[in-house]
Amino acid sequence: MSATPPCPQCTLENTYPDGANFVCADCGFEWAAGETSAAGDDARVVRDANGTVLQDGDAVVLIKDLKVKGSSTTLKQGTKVKSIRLVGDGDHEVDCKMDAGNYMLKACFLKKA
């Protein structure tokens, strides 16, 4: 397991230490090594692609086409998803129900509507 914490802005785990700071390779966000979440793991903050905090019941919009693994289905950019549910385990933070079925999505591919 890696000793580097996930990025507090985009919540992805592709981070690396840079002197006294940590840097996220995905979004470029930098933070000091001591600035991890003070609330702890029980109050996980999920942010969309723009950095807006998401909550249960929010409506979101897909910001890019997403191919569904193991299927020929593609979720199209601009699709609005209502009543999302945030889940705490795994790397897919958002559970949602669409016309095409039920999906788990990463918050970095969504923006709050």
**Burial class of residue 103 (count of CB atoms within 10 Å of its CB; 0-12, 13-18, 19+):** middle
The range of the structural domain enclosing residue 105 comes to 60-112
Q: Is the pLDDT score of 60 beyond 50? A: yes
CATH code where residue 36 lies: 2.20.25.10
Q: Is the pLDDT score of 10 beyond 60? A: yes
pTM of the model: 0.60
Lowest mean pLDDT among 3-7, 50-54, 97-101: 3-7
**Burial class of residue 84 (count of CB atoms within 10 Å of its CB; 0-12, 13-18, 19+):** buried
pLDDT digits (tens, 9 = 90+) for 71-94: 899 999 999 999 999 987 778 889
67 shares its domain with 94: yes
Looking up tokens 């788990």, which residue turns up? 104
d(Cα 87, Cα 18) in Å, to the nearest integer?
30
Q: Is the pLDDT score of 38 beyond 70? A: no
When pLDDT is averaged across residues 22-42 and rounded to a whole number, the result is: 69
92 shares its domain with 68: yes
Coil, helix or strand at residue 102:
strand
- Structural domains in the chain (count): 2
